[in-house]
Structure 1
């Protein structure tokens, strides 16, 4: 009864609302409710029955509303964060599958494209029909005339797996996005980012088919030509994948590594002179990792990794004779295999230098454990990535090493995104 009277004093006579029932008073109501409810069924509680019923009804409602307003966004953020992290993981796998598909020269085995997926051959007649479609295009006519049906099935399954995985990514991005949007799980900023995610996924799928079409066109003139997709479209396809992966990962980091909440609930970026050099180098390293990966797409598109398989010199020369053999000069940077490989070497070296300098500078700074771990991991991965690249080159681009090298570039980009996020947290101060 003392609990009941305390609740009544907080709520007021006859259930009249008072300003006394603030969020601070609500825990008292919550503690009283289990003790008061049994009293409502006893005859002695009759005089208080009406007032207490209103108290419990209103008090419980107010408590639930207060609790949901503070705890629901946290749960929602975690759900959205796990969704974004899952999507970024699937994009990571898609990049690996795409690299293996390119290295095994399986990308041109499927000569049609449908939004929801191509028909899966089930009988030998259907497989033969699919093989006959492939035989009408340049890759078979100029390169694979001796291919058997069983060999064709293997490269077809490689491309089919890559495409279907891409469609799964589209579903995993789009369907939860609709659910979260409809249920109010997304704030204004996340809604804008979600629209960007969906747009990038759609653009990535269309660019994939646009890239494959370039290898199916009748633009290969003689037996010496090697049917392949356009290196420009391959670079665009890979760049979109890296951008999509980066923004998904950054979105997940915004959820799981958000700034600590306090009474202000508002933060602003503040210039910290001691962190200026590290911040600039961290963003520079992230940009250079991306540009080096894009240059790697041109290397893959032109098979430039098979031109000069020595390091650090290229055929006993620091600068080979045919580096600018094409006219006009600018054409060499995207169409001359020698120049493309040379550029990739230079970009890789500059990226390693920037990350190493970043690590050295970080040793003189006082950093929290997460930022320290990020910069150490980035520095270690940079050296491992360079070692993988050199090994791939010296061993004439074996599939397993080349796929590892491409995966390493994505891991390196992940660590750079993580570090820049940690640097941003160090510059956040309450308003």
Structure 2
């Protein structure tokens, strides 16, 4: 009987390895898509920091893939830009060459979005044709493709908010756009990771699964809050740490000055930045607690928890540097890139812990 059980165990592991090898091209493809999404998030951050996002005032999903090809075409695009409040109130007198600089950032961002769509769709159809994708996986991947299309629409919805009566985009829409991109990234990574079973069984306390979900949720919340900070340029206002406007905790009357009270959490620069700081502290504490708890499980469970803790510490350091140096482009983009890496680590941790026994 014992021999039969051992033989069955080895057969199951061999079958699992065979299935994993068969799905390797699908995993590699999904990881490539995830890498492009990370690049998209970083380029989106550069577009925001260079105030380039409103340079293209129309949404042309097909014909917009081509940039202006003549001086006359460039002048037409520039004339359209000169009709919006950002040019009239902020960039009046901008030269055509200066316009081209911001145009290329936004055009590159949109082109990258189109590229991701092609990189996703064409291999998806190929793998379907080859029979590598079953019905359950097919529905998951189709859902990702739909979310990608929705992300494009949300991106235009964000841009449209800055074309009339504003000189920038709505922080609500910017935070939504960023958060949706990161959720698509997390879902893509989760599907890819799930296609490769664990090499050897891992053991983790049942309650650690709930902890990993909480940690993931707080990472997503922090990304949303970071979007609000970016949308309000809140990182340029209070640039000291650990004190903020001379206080560890700003006076409550300043934090809740706007009415109704809920608006402070989305529109009050002081409150938005303070919340981003608070959740950073919370995330750091949760990552530390998660690692201390995961150490009991040992093995890869503990190692992944340690990696996540190190990444959260590094991201917090980048956040502080971004703040005290008043949001320089290089450090700010490193901070945005760091957010995606922390999210990926939290996603892998979540998937693997929930696969553990």
> TM above 0.5, one fold?
yes
* 1:277 Cα deviation from its structure 2 partner: 4.1
Is the partner of 2:162 in helix, strand or coil?
A: helix
Deviations 1:345-370 (A, max 9, x none): 1111100000011112223x1422x3
Q: In the alignment, is the contact (CA less than 8 A) between 2:291 and 2:302 conserved in 1?
A: no
Is the partner of 2:214 in helix, strand or coil?
A: helix
Q: Does 1:292 align with 2:239?
A: no
* 1:117 Cα deviation from its structure 2 partner: 4.1
Q: CA RMSD in A?
A: 2.0
Alpha-carbon distance in structure 2 between the residues aligned to 1:215 and 1:89: 29
Q: Does 1:115 align with 2:61?
A: yes
Over 3 Å counting, the alpha-carbon distance change for 1:292 and 1:70 in structure 2 is: closer
Q: Does 1:253 align with 2:199?
A: no
* 1:193 Cα deviation from its structure 2 partner: 0.5
Match of 1:367 among 291, 298, 301: 298
Q: TM-score, normalised on structure 2?
A: 0.90
* 1:78 Cα deviation from its structure 2 partner: 1.2
Match of 2:238 among 301, 308, 311: 308
Q: In the alignment, is the contact (CA less than 8 A) between 1:298 and 1:334 conserved in 2?
A: yes
Over 3 Å counting, the alpha-carbon distance change for 1:395 and 1:384 in structure 2 is: same
Q: Does 1:83 align with 2:29?
A: yes
Deviations 1:226-246 (A, max 9, x none): x11011111111111001100
Match of 2:157 among 198, 204, 210: 210
Is the partner of 2:104 in helix, strand or coil?
A: helix
* 1:421 Cα deviation from its structure 2 partner: 2.1
Q: Does 1:178 align with 2:132?
A: no
Query: What corresponds to 1:232 in structure 2?
Result: 172
Q: Is the radius of gyration larger for structure 1 or structure 2? A: 1
Match of 2:137 among 165, 190, 207: 190
* 1:82 Cα deviation from its structure 2 partner: 1.1
Aligned residues: 340
Q: Does 1:146 align with 2:77?
A: no
Query: What corresponds to 2:310 in structure 1?
Result: 380
Is the partner of 2:259 in helix, strand or coil?
A: coil
* 1:278 Cα deviation from its structure 2 partner: 2.9
Q: TM-score, normalised on structure 1?
A: 0.75
Alpha-carbon distance in structure 2 between the residues aligned to 1:247 and 1:374: 18
Segment drifting more, 236-245 vs 319-328: 319-328
Query: What corresponds to 2:4 in structure 1?
Result: none
Q: Does 1:133 align with 2:80?
A: yes
* 1:317 Cα deviation from its structure 2 partner: 1.6
Deviations 1:379-405 (A, max 9, x none): 111111111111111111111111111
- Name stretches of at least 5 consecutive residues in structure 2 with no aligned partner: 1-14
Deviations 1:12-36 (A, max 9, x none): xxxxxxxxxxxxxxxxxxxxxxxxx
* 1:254 Cα deviation from its structure 2 partner: 1.0
Q: Map 1:260-299 to 2 at 5 A.
A: 275-299=205-229
Alpha-carbon distance in structure 2 between the residues aligned to 1:325 and 1:356: 34
Is the partner of 1:215 in helix, strand or coil?
A: coil
* 1:372 Cα deviation from its structure 2 partner: 3.0
* 1:279 Cα deviation from its structure 2 partner: 2.6
Alpha-carbon distance in structure 2 between the residues aligned to 1:71 and 1:351: 36
Q: Does 1:347 align with 2:279?
A: yes
Q: In the alignment, is the contact (CA less than 8 A) between 1:117 and 1:164 conserved in 2?
A: no
Is the partner of 1:228 in helix, strand or coil?
A: coil
Query: What corresponds to 1:17 in structure 2?
Result: none
Q: In the alignment, is the contact (CA less than 8 A) between 1:378 and 1:416 conserved in 2?
A: yes
Segment drifting more, 353-362 vs 157-166: 353-362
Query: What corresponds to 2:47 in structure 1?
Result: 101
* 1:287 Cα deviation from its structure 2 partner: 1.0
Is the partner of 2:195 in helix, strand or coil?
A: helix
